Chains A and B, each alone.
Chain A
Amino acid sequence: MDRREFLLRSAAVAAGGLAGCMPAVSIPTASASPAPPAEAGTRELVMRALDAARSAGARYADVRVSRNRNQAVSTRERQITGLADNETQGLGVRVLVDGTWGFAASREMTRVETERVAREAVAQARASRVAQRRPVELAPVERYPDAQWTSPIRTDPFSVSVEDKVGLLLAANEAALGIKGARFVNSSMFFLREDKTFASTEGTYTTQTIFRSLPRVTVTAVAPDGSDFQTRISTDVQPMGLGYEHVVNARLVENAPRWAEDAVQKLSAAPVTPGRYDLVLLPSHLWLTIHESIAHPTELDRVLGYEANYAGTSFIYPIEKYLGKFRYGPAFMNIQGERSSPGGLSSVGWDDEGVKPRDYLIVKDGILHDLQTTREQAPLLADWYRQTGQPVRSHGNSYAQSWADVQFQRMPNVNLLPHPERDVPLDELIGGVKNGILIDGEGSFSIDQQRFNAQFGGQVFYEIRNGKRGRMLKDVAYQIRTPEFWNSMDLIGGKSTYFMGGAFNDGKGQPSQSNAVSHGCPPSRHRGVEVINTGRSA
């Protein structure tokens, strides 16, 4: 949702959306207009902004010019409900003056406005200096004077006709409605293209083109007597940093009947009996548990208290008691941060402060090994890096959702790597469970502000009895305490079971910014996890 629509915004919308109550065409989204901004013009403006910032007193400045284009197509049953294209373009300038940050941005990309924005950023920094207690220092960075990167797509989603997109969604809807009991189907596609130029006073100049795609189908089944309704979301198709080929590969029409059958079957599924169960979590579900209980608490700005007022802090505190010491999970557990995997939502060539990200291990052989950093943050871990013989450099985890937002630390793709020793199949995980539950797809999710206590639902749940998958269950949610949960993991799948899920709209920061991020993982098995029944009668 566009934050600028503030006068239209209601508390209800802020509290989670008023689905179906807003005009369908108000979906925020981007224009299929051609050609990105002329390169020469952009370079001139960017250099002008850097010069203006320096002249006004900035010791360091960086400029981002970006154009975000997106397209959203939505349907229900046999009709279209929305088609919107959106583009937003502008320039943001960030400066450091005497160790204090300032930021300003404008949609107007004229010479005069660019210089005004640069001076405004410096004025922001000057005004904010009064409360300074510790000046910002930046880790060194390599210089990339002319670098380019593009998401590895095969088909530009903006080159595919709207007729084809709508046709595919309506065909998927029809396939779902062919299943008896499936009463409603909502389906949608969302595409993003961002053309981003970054330049800094340290001599880096990068241009990148980033694509993201998400097709989605949700089927709702309603009990004949109106006593119940259940939905199934197509969570085995995840958002990716890919092009239209991702939509084609999702095989929506072929898969829709299965999602519809799941929704119908959920109506008569057995309510779960609360208690402790062994859980087998498929990657379509597990990615979100990794996101919440590993990727977020290992953000260094949270650890340091910078996000205490909203996103929260971290149970990883104080750092020196955790880095190199804290056992996150068993020895086969390795957590990787990266922005290089093809199709990963966070994958880029350079981050939003010109750092080339490298792959790194956050958890190594089960022990907490590193934290997510930007240039401002890496020096704060200098002692640890010296102890372990690593250079003091940013991991390249800086990101801003658009030109209008200041960049800050955001998670890279954070992955649970497959079993290091052998290619463990899913059947082996299930085969070792006497009394358990198999969970497929992400569902309800909530975690506390230090990432200890979490509760997760799912899309579909199956009983596991004596090593075999059994009947479907419903109203399942499990509650965890992060350290115990990951240490209860006794087996994970091998490399052939690895799958990448992801979040399109991970919120953090004030004002809240959306980050898109992937989490690759194999299935996992956890012993003795607390399961509750979420069904209540009204």
Chain B
Amino acid sequence: MADTRFFSREEAQALAERVLRLSSAEDVRVNVQSGVEGNTRFATNQISTAADVSNASVVITSAFGRRVASATTNRFDDESLRRVVQTSEQLARLVPEDPEYLGELATQQYPESRGFFESTAGLSPEARARAVTAIATPSQARGLISTGFLTFQVGSQAVATKRGSFAYSPGTLANLTTTVRTPDGTGSGWAGVGAHDWTQIDPAELAERAIRKAELSRNPKAVEPGKWTVILEPTAVANLVGLMMGSLGARQADEGRSYFARAGGGNRIGEKFLNPRVTIYSDPADQRLYTAPFNGEGLPNRRMLWVEKGVLRNLVYTRFWAQKNNLNPSGFPGGFYMEGGNSSVDQMIASTRRGLLVTRLWYIRPVDPRTILFTGLTRDGTFLIENGRITGAVKNLRWNESPIFMLNNLEMMGPPTRVSPSESGETSSAVIVPALKVRDFTFTSVSDAV
């Protein structure tokens, strides 16, 4: 039976066509989204809130020549649609020309749409409560306090243009994260994971990991800040590598205001800038990434090799910047895959004379865009390694570091694994990265926060 909580291809197309028929602009794009987001939060070993939210929206972008504006509504009666079309057209007639507007796209060929799973689409409040119980019950039994967030989305998106393109993709996403703390407030452990397919998430396994870390992290000792060899678990690696992926704009580089700007003009494409073991790509054909088939403009996503063996292969080109440089637009396919190695975290620990094991990072904020330098803190499981084994918990540390420096100081790599990459535990495109052992990671102060 059709899922009534989001628009089918036919419904999305019918809605887009209603909007297009109301339009008198020269160029028009209609973006349609619909779906349900559900979540269950828990704290102090009990559910604190649970919600299901049903929403949909239409964005209409109207252009007269190069005068362009957009308007959005979530009301789809005739009068509301007429009004939103009129709003976008009135605004478009009033604004100055945008010399960079290239018009909307005509018919495109799209890669296969992946990433819809019934297991996630059918995640009921009762099933969510069971997942929470699988974490809260063992935590309570061990005298610990669990907190966490289970969230999922089911929906579809579509893009249609007056020039005839139509793209449609349904999708699901889920994410489960938990922080388990000791009642005396001296220990805290985190675990989390994201997936398109709910069956890939094992709440009991996450509980076990978070509980183990909470218990191990009691009564941390302070260590001196400075340069440390660190073993970063995959979540922490994603936290940092994502910062570099967010700095890949070609235009900023060409304009001289990015790490990827080349002194004297142009950008660093073709330059080796990372350790030769680093390769990162996005790929709609990759079965593990479930990349959306198109972006918000209706541009098909395609395989993009960002970094190959430490060499910068591509930057993110918008349609305008690509045309100006006589290149194809890159889009930015959701998610990325970073190749890894064969070392397990245990092997990394065994090979380390003195270092730190880091679970995840927190409050990551830019400090200096010239070097993609960010600051933040370790959190929920930071351990001292001495002579090849974990010897205790350490107090969290503030770091000031760049993924560029980190990926040059690489020593060991683990097998890539999907993570929950956002600090807030929201659903996310697939991010698949390895655990890393790196040297000379820069910590600048100690935090008393647990």
Counting contact residues on chain B (CB < 8 A from A), the size range is 35 or more
A sample of 17 more A-B contacts (CB under 8 A), given A88-B74, A108-B54, A309-B43, is: A4-B37, A4-B57, A6-B153, A10-B333, A14-B426, A15-B242, A26-B59, A26-B70, A32-B91, A33-B84, A84-B71, A124-B52, A162-B94, A305-B44, A308-B147, A511-B149, A511-B426
**0/1 string, A520-538, CB within 8 A of B gives 1:** 0000000000101011111
The reply to whether B334 and A536 contact each other, CB–CB distance below 8 Å, is: no
Q: Does A422 contact B (CB under 8 A)?
A: no
**Inter-chain contacts of A86 with B (CB < 8 A):** 59, 71-73
Residue from A13, A90, A308 with most neighbouring chain B CB atoms (10 Å): A308
Q: A308-B181, A510-B151 are in contact. Are A444 and B398 (CB under 8 A)?
A: no
A184 and B257 contacting across the interface, CB-CB below 8 Å: yes
Closest to B31 in A: A26
Number of chain A residues close to chain B: CB under 8 A: 120
Q: Is B449 in contact with A312, judged by CB distance below 8 angstroms? A: yes
On chain A, the residues within 8 Å of B251 by CB distance are 20-21
Task: For the complex formed, measure the closest distance between the CB of A338 and the CB atoms of chain B, giving whole angstroms.
Answer: 27
A-B contact pairs, 25 of them (CB 8 A): A4-B153, A6-B153, A6-B427, A7-B292, A7-B334, A11-B422, A26-B70, A30-B72, A79-B99, A87-B72, A90-B55, A105-B51, A307-B147, A308-B181, A309-B149, A310-B177, A310-B423, A448-B377, A449-B377, A450-B447, A452-B447, A452-B448, A452-B449, A510-B426, A538-B371
Of A125-133, A277-285, A339-347, A423-431, the one touching chain B = A125-133
When chains A and B are docked, how far (Å) is the Cα of A308 from the Cα of B450? 10
Known: A23-B296, A304-B44. A534 touches B400 (CB 8 A): yes
**A87-B73, A536-B373, A538-B370 known; A3 vs B426 contact (CB < 8 Å):** yes
Contacting pair A124 B246 (CB below 8 A): no
> In the complex, are the beta carbons of A448 and B379 less than 8 A apart?
yes
Whether B147 and A305, one on each chain, are in contact in the complex, defined by CB atoms closer than 8 angstroms, is yes
Q: Is A382 among interface residues, defined by CB-CB distance under 8 A?
A: no
> Closest residue of chain A to B404, judged by CB?
A538
On whether the beta carbons of B445 and A448 are closer than 8 Å, the reply is: no
Whether A226 lies near B256 (C-beta < 8 A) is: yes
Contact residues, B146-191 vs A (CB, 8 A)? 147-149, 151, 153, 155, 157, 169, 171, 173, 177-179, 181, 185, 188, 190
Chain B proximity mask over A447-459: 1 for CB below 8 Å, otherwise 0: 1111111010100
Which A residues are in CB contact (< 8 Å) with B371?
Answer: 536-538
Q: Does B15 contact A (CB under 8 A)?
A: no
Interface membership of B355, Cβ < 8 A: no
A-B contact number at CB 8 A: 413
Inter-subunit contact A510/B53 (CB<8 Å)? no
- With the chains together, A170 CA to B423 CA distance in Å? 37
Tell whether A162 pairs with B377 under 8 Å between CB atoms, given A127-B128, A309-B147, A511-B37.
Answer: no
Check if B157 sits within 8 Å of A7, measured CB to CB.
yes
Segment at the B interface, from A147-155, A323-331, A475-483: A475-483
Alpha-carbon gap, A4 to B296, bound state (A): 13
Most chain A C-beta atoms within 10 Å of own C-beta, residue among B51, B90, B188, B249:
B51
Chain B CB within 8 A of A412 CB: no
Contacts of A313 in B (CB 8 A): 181, 185
| A residues near B292, Cβ cutoff 8 Å | 7-8
Least CB distance, A365 to chain B, in whole angstroms: 25
B259 contacts the other chain (CB 8 A):
yes
Question: Could you tell me if A131 and B188 are in contact, using CB atoms closer than 8 angstroms?
Answer: no
Q: Would B55 and A124 count as touching, CB distance under 8 A?
A: no
Is B98 close to A, CB under 8 A? yes
Name the interface residues of A1-52: CB closer than 8 Å to any CB of B. Answer: 2-26, 28-33
A170:B96 contact, CB within 8 angstroms: yes
A425 to B363, CA, bound (A): 35
Query: Is the pair B69, A449 in contact by a Cβ cutoff of 8 Å?
Result: no
Q: In the bound complex, what is the Cα–Cα distance between A156 and B350 (angstroms)?
A: 65
B17 at the interface (CB under 8 A from A): no
Give the Cβ gap from B416 to chain A, nearest Cβ, in Å. Answer: 13
Indicate whether B394 reaches chain A with its CB closer than 8 angstroms. Answer: no
Q: How far is the CB of B433 from chain A (nearest CB, A)?
A: 10
* 5 nearest A-B pairs in the assembled complex, by CB-CB distance: A15-B242, A127-B125, A453-B447, A450-B449, A448-B449
Interface residues of A in 86-106 (CB under 8 A from B): 86-90, 92, 100-106
**Which one, A25, A184, A308, A447, contacts B70 given CB within 8 A?**
A25
A341–B263 Cα distance when bound, in Å, is: 50
- Cβ of A104 and Cβ of B51 under 8 Å apart? yes
Say yes or no for A81: interface residue by CB 8 A criterion: yes
Does chain B have a CB within 8 A of A381? no
Q: Which of A4, A24, A510 contacts B98 (CB 8 A)?
A: A24
A-contact bits for B118-158, CB 8 A (1 contact / 0 none)? 00000011101100110010000000010111010101010
Say how far B290's CB is from chain A's closest CB, in angstroms: 10
Q: Chain A contacts of B282 at CB under 8 A?
A: 10
Report the Cα distance A401→B404, complex, angstroms.
36
Binary interface encoding of chain B residues 22-47 relative to chain A, with 1 for a CB under 8 A from any of its CBs, else 0: 00000000000101010111111111
Contact across chains for B449 and A315 when beta carbons are under 8 A apart? yes
Mark interface residues in A104-124 (1 if CB within 8 Å of B CB, else 0): 111110000000000010011
On whether A15 and B246 interact (CB within 8 A), knowing A8-B295, A100-B47, A449-B363, the answer reads: yes
B431 contacts the other chain (CB 8 A): yes
B242 with A14: CB separation less than 8 A: yes
Query: What's the Cα separation between A477 and B399 when bound, in Å?
Result: 13
- In the bound complex, do residue A79 and residue B98 qualify as a contact, i.e. CB atoms below 8 Å apart? yes
Residue contact B334 to A11, C-beta cutoff 8 Å: yes
A453 to B444, CA, bound (A): 11
The one of A132, A405, A536 in contact with B402, judged by C-beta atoms closer than 8 angstroms, is A536
Q: Are B94 and A161 in contact (CB under 8 A)?
A: yes
Is there contact, CB below 8 Å, between A21 and B318? Answer: yes
Question: Nearest CB to that of B290 among chain A residues?
Answer: A7
Q: Which residues of B contact A2 (CB under 8 A)?
A: 57
Interface string of A220-247 (1 = CB under 8 A from B): 1010011111000000000000000000
Within B306-360, the residues touching A (CB, 8 Å) are 316, 318-319, 332-336
B103 in contact (CB, < 8 A): no
When distances are taken between beta carbons in the complex, the residues of chain B under 8 Å from A481 are 448
Residues of A within 8 A of B8 (CB): none
Contact status of A309 and B55, CB under 8 A, knowing A18-B332, A23-B297, A107-B74? no
B100 close to A (CB within 8 Å): yes
The closest CB in chain B to the CB of A21 belongs to B316
Query: How far is A308 from B96 in the complex, measured between Cα atoms in Å?
Result: 48
Chain A residues near B334 (CB, 8 Å)?
Answer: 7-11
Q: How far is the CA of A87 from the CA of B55 in the complex (A)?
A: 12
Decide yes or no whether B409 CB sits under 8 A from chain A: no
Known interface pairs A9-B428, A184-B257. Does A453 touch B449 (Cβ–Cβ under 8 Å)? yes
The answer, yes or no, to whether A507 is at the interface (CB within 8 Å) is yes
Contact A447 B72 (CB under 8 A): no
Contact between B51 and A19, CB atoms less than 8 A apart: no
User: How long is the Cα–Cα vector from A530 to B402 in the complex, in angstroms?
Assistant: 22
Q: Which of A350-373 contact B (CB under 8 A)?
A: none
Chain A residues lying within 8 Å of B132, measured Cβ to Cβ, are 131
Instruction: Tell yes or no: B424 within 8 A of A by CB.
Output: yes
Select one of A12, A87, A538 contacting B242, CB under 8 A.
A12
Listed residue (A23, A312, A404, A408) with the most chain B CB atoms within 10 angstroms of its CB: A23
Q: With contacts A31-B84, A457-B367 known, is A309 near B425, CB below 8 A? A: yes
B396 contacts chain A at the CB level, 8 A cutoff: yes
**B residues near A84, Cβ cutoff 8 Å:** 69-72
Q: How far is the CB of A375 from chain B (nearest CB, A)?
A: 14
Decide: B426 and A512 in contact? CB cutoff 8 A: yes
Check: B375 CB closer than 8 A to any chain A CB: yes
Known contacts A9-B428, A448-B377; A134 and B46 CB within 8 A of each other: yes
Contact A227 B147 (CB under 8 A): no
What is the minimal beta-carbon distance from A154 to any residue of chain B, in angstroms?
23
A535 touches B83 (CB 8 A): no
Contact B84 A131 (CB under 8 A): no
Q: Does B3 contact A (CB under 8 A)?
A: no
